[in-house]
Chain A
Amino acid sequence: MSTLTLRAAPPERLDFLAINPLALSRLSQAEAERLEVGTTRRGVRLGDCFSVSLDGSDTLTIEGGHERLDRVGAALSEGAIRITGDVGQRLGAGMAGGRLTVTGHAGPYAASGATGGTIIIEGDAGDHAGGAVYAAKAGLDGATLIIRGSAGAHLGDRMRRGIILAGRAGAFAGSRMIAGTIAALAVGDHPGYGMRRGTLVVGAHGRMSPTFVETGAHDLVFLRLLARSLKGLSAEHADLLGRPLRRYSGDLATIAKGEIWVAS
């Protein structure tokens, strides 16, 4: 297992796009230490902030995270990265495969555009987790994002496919969803605002948009399949589907093929 150990707080925001197990396995320790990770003209290199220990394996541990570490795991396509601590924005953005685990909190836009793999945030996530960055066509795009703590506003904004699980989420969860599935124990106001398709399963919610219409309680086969899919990810979220559920259809301001299932 390769390890990067944070020696001191980074002097500026660091871009970890190029730091992943596959890339590091091709480098010597000296070459890895010379990788540029700074985002200013100061030219901060990996070895300036981290002590580096490489063994060529497909697992990388980053000991000591920091909210200035941006795009951690963004180029991950295989293997695993584990960060003990916090990370900055765009955790796993565009990630294609593998497993990314953060024991602390993550900044905004975590898992944006991620097409594969699993991203687990043990703490909280910022706004737009699984959401689209500005001008991007889609947010989460096939990966699985699990947020054990709370997510900020606009969770899964414009997500296109994949699964997001969150403890609690802020307002506008699932806004502008293209497709995919979000399950949260509670969400804020206006869940599914502007969603076209997709599924939200929530334990509780804030104010519902007036462009959603209740269709009643339904015992659908789809819910059985969804519960089975979620069971391996989070029993707590799968249990939501075992409770009586009311279904809301919307957003009627769009093509209205989305749905919000509310557990009672």
Chain B
Amino acid sequence: MSDLTLNGIRVVDTFAEAFDVAGTAIVVTNDTAKWAMIAATTMTGFATSVIGCGAEAGIDAELSPEETPDGRPGVRILLFGFEPKGLKEQLIKRVGQCILTCPGTACYAGVDGPTKIKLGGAIRYFGDGFAIAKRLPDAAGKARRYWRIPVMDGEFLCEDSVRAVDGAVGGGNLLFLGRTHSETLKVAEIAVEAAKAIPGAILPFPGGIVRSGSKVGGRTKGMMASTNDAYCPTLKGRAGSALPAECGVVLEIVIDALTSQGVSDSMRAGLHAATEIGSRHGLIAVTAGNYGGNLGRHHYHLRDLLEKEG
């Protein structure tokens, strides 16, 4: 371990290794902010890891009525997948099961990009031939096509297609090495709040935090990933452990963003927020997870994030 420090906390001179992913954003609106959030929370459930869930998703921002296409409260959701085809499948399933079903919701594209993903144009078949397409200019005068699908509370309105962006990145991360569970959790919570405040970035794990960091493969045949034994405190003292003796807990935050800059900014915000309060909460060090640099083409070196402004 090196001797980088930030706010008196040791920062390991290593890097987070992240991957190119397919990413999109949608805006979900409802008559009340409460029901918009219910729909968004439902849709982004079971979306912590692409490997196990098919997609990684999270809530990017709550939107005021002035920020949404229909003048109602809304939520911007980000969804990431390995590639556009898988992303499309997940998007249609999640909107179909969680947004279409939620009383009062409507669904719109939330980002512009080069790859078109048919959304309302696919879900319209639920309308059994009664769905109506409507093309209307938006506030900027650009024509947008919507599907109006008859449902039992009126209509589900969904934009015909959304866009996937180029340059989305998944897997930015920080690991917080602490002494006790409660104190390290507090540090991670503060880091999550700062990291998710960056527009276009989400932290898909529960509360933004993952305790089961993984390595590629495992000793059991067929395992794609298994526990990151180097950072398990109960395995300290064995060959391969990366933890100092005083470390009792490691918690990780994982970041996906629509741009590489978003990942970098989000990691920077999380790193600074955590180290600013770290000394009061038993934080020993901050490090990052990587696979030797051979799997993902995006490397976020912690030494590059020490300055508060990127």
Report which A residues bind B (CB closer than 8 A).
161, 163, 179, 181, 197, 199, 218-222, 224-226, 228-229, 232, 257, 259
Query: Nearest CB to that of B130 among chain A residues?
Result: A257
Excluding A179-B133, A226-B136, 12 further A-B contacts by CB distance (< 8 Å) are A161-B135, A179-B135, A197-B133, A219-B154, A220-B148, A222-B155, A225-B69, A225-B134, A225-B136, A228-B70, A232-B141, A257-B132
What are 18 pairs between A and B in contact, CB < 8 Å? A179-B133, A179-B135, A181-B134, A199-B134, A218-B154, A218-B155, A220-B154, A222-B134, A222-B157, A224-B72, A225-B69, A225-B136, A225-B146, A225-B157, A226-B136, A228-B69, A229-B138, A232-B141
Query: Nearest CB to that of A179 among chain B residues?
Result: B133
- The answer to whether A221 and B106 have CB atoms under 8 Å apart is yes
A229-B69 Cα distance, complex, nearest whole Å: 10
Residues of A close to B71: CB separation below 8 A: 224, 228
Residues of B close to A181: CB separation below 8 A: 134, 136
A228-B142 Cα distance, complex, nearest whole Å: 13
CB of A239 to closest CB in B, whole Å: 15
Residues of A close to B130: CB separation below 8 A: 257
A233-B137 Cα distance, complex, nearest whole Å: 11
* Contact among A197, A219, A224, A225 for B132, CB-based, below 8 A: A197
- The answer to whether B146 and A222 have CB atoms under 8 Å apart is yes
CB of B85 to closest CB in A, whole Å: 30
Query: Nearest CB to that of B132 among chain A residues?
Result: A257
Q: Does B266 contact A (CB under 8 A)?
A: no
Contacts A224-B70, A224-B71, A257-B130 known; A229 to B154 CB distance under 8 Å? no
Residues of A close to B141: CB separation below 8 A: 232
Residues of B close to A226: CB separation below 8 A: 136
A79-B164 Cα distance, complex, nearest whole Å: 34
Residues of B close to A229: CB separation below 8 A: 136-138
Query: Nearest CB to that of A233 among chain B residues?
Result: B137
A-B pairs with lowest CB-CB distance, top 6: A221-B106, A224-B70, A221-B157, A229-B136, A220-B155, A229-B137
Query: Nearest CB to that of B107 among chain A residues?
Result: A221
* Contact among B132, B135, B138, B155 for A221, CB-based, below 8 A: B155
- The answer to whether A225 and B154 have CB atoms under 8 Å apart is no
Q: Does B139 contact A (CB under 8 A)?
A: yes
Residues of B close to A228: CB separation below 8 A: 69-71, 138-139
Residues of A close to B155: CB separation below 8 A: 218, 220-222
CB of B306 to closest CB in A, whole Å: 46
Report which B residues bind A (CB closer than 8 A).
29, 69-72, 106, 130, 132-139, 141, 146, 148, 154-155, 157
CB of A118 to closest CB in B, whole Å: 10
Query: Nearest CB to that of A257 among chain B residues?
Result: B132
Residues of B close to A220: CB separation below 8 A: 148, 154-155, 157
A219-B70 Cα distance, complex, nearest whole Å: 13
A163-B136 Cα distance, complex, nearest whole Å: 8
A136-B71 Cα distance, complex, nearest whole Å: 39
A199-B133 Cα distance, complex, nearest whole Å: 11
CB of B136 to closest CB in A, whole Å: 5
A226-B157 Cα distance, complex, nearest whole Å: 12
Query: Nearest CB to that of A258 among chain B residues?
Result: B132
Query: Nearest CB to that of B143 among chain A residues?
Result: A142
A185-B166 Cα distance, complex, nearest whole Å: 46
CB of A81 to closest CB in B, whole Å: 20
A225-B148 Cα distance, complex, nearest whole Å: 12
* Contact among B29, B137, B148 for A222, CB-based, below 8 A: B148
CB of B157 to closest CB in A, whole Å: 4
CB of A224 to closest CB in B, whole Å: 4
Query: Nearest CB to that of A229 among chain B residues?
Result: B136
Residues of B close to A259: CB separation below 8 A: 132
Residues of A close to B72: CB separation below 8 A: 221, 224
CB of B282 to closest CB in A, whole Å: 50
A9-B155 Cα distance, complex, nearest whole Å: 55
A214-B138 Cα distance, complex, nearest whole Å: 29
A229-B137 Cα distance, complex, nearest whole Å: 6
* Contact among A179, A199, A225, A232 for B70, CB-based, below 8 A: A225
A161-B145 Cα distance, complex, nearest whole Å: 11
A228-B157 Cα distance, complex, nearest whole Å: 15
A179-B69 Cα distance, complex, nearest whole Å: 22
CB of B101 to closest CB in A, whole Å: 16
- The answer to whether A221 and B137 have CB atoms under 8 Å apart is no
Residues of A close to B70: CB separation below 8 A: 221, 224-225, 228
- The answer to whether A221 and B139 have CB atoms under 8 Å apart is no
A197-B135 Cα distance, complex, nearest whole Å: 12
Residues of B close to A199: CB separation below 8 A: 134
CB of A186 to closest CB in B, whole Å: 23
CB of B48 to closest CB in A, whole Å: 31
A232-B136 Cα distance, complex, nearest whole Å: 12
Residues of B close to A221: CB separation below 8 A: 29, 70, 72, 106, 155, 157
